[in-house]
Amino acid sequence: MDRSKKEEIVSELNEKLKRAKIAMLADYSGIRVKDLSELRNELRKTGSDVKVVKNNLLSRALKDTEYAGLDSLLGGPRVLILNYEDVVAPTKVLVEFAKKNASLEIKGGVYEGSSLSQGELTTLASLPGKEVLQAKLLSMFVAVQTQLVTVLSGVPRGLVTVLDGYREKKEETN
């Protein structure tokens, strides 16, 4: 590979890293091509980029980004996973795949400039997804409004009940 091609790869990776919300590295040695393709397909469904890049090119691309902490995890065959939207979904896919395939070893990741160990990524994967959290938040907003309407309608309802009781009493005496 000539120098200009390498510079182009480093530049492209650097731009992707600057846009990414989370970056993870995993050791893929010993994994069959079919299994790695399956992992790539599952991660692409979450909107992730999956790259197998030479360590020295990745090391250069990591400079001047908040993902410089990944540099210490380089060495050996590594796959780089980048996601630009949801941080939980790709982490879940990667952790579940690693449970099924002992050959894949999650090395770590970086989220918002903070390094994440394998254990922290596993914990992140156990969180509910973005859609579930949004649904819970929405249900809380709806519940508050419903309770407010119930409380506010209690006073007129009580007045109607008292007036109805008074009417019945008047009808009995007549």
Q: For residue range 63-103, what is the model confidence (pLDDT) as tens digits?
A: 878 888 788 888 888 889 999 888 888 899 999 998 888 88
Angstrom distances, CA of residue 124 to CA of 21, 68, 97: 14, 20, 15
Contact 124, 116 (CB under 8 A): yes
Q: Is 163 exposed, middle or buried (0-12, 13-18, 19+ CB in 10 A)?
A: exposed
Does position 129 have pLDDT exceeding 80, yes or no?
no
Domain 3-127, CATH number (from 3.40.1440.10, 3.30.70.1730, 3.20.20.10, 3.40.640.10): 3.30.70.1730
pLDDT tens figures, 152-163: 888 888 888 888
Which pLDDT band holds residue 119 (cuts at 50, 70, 90)? confident
Contact yes or no for 50/43 (Cβ under 8 A): yes
3-state helix, strand, coil in the chain (%, to 5): 65, 15, 20
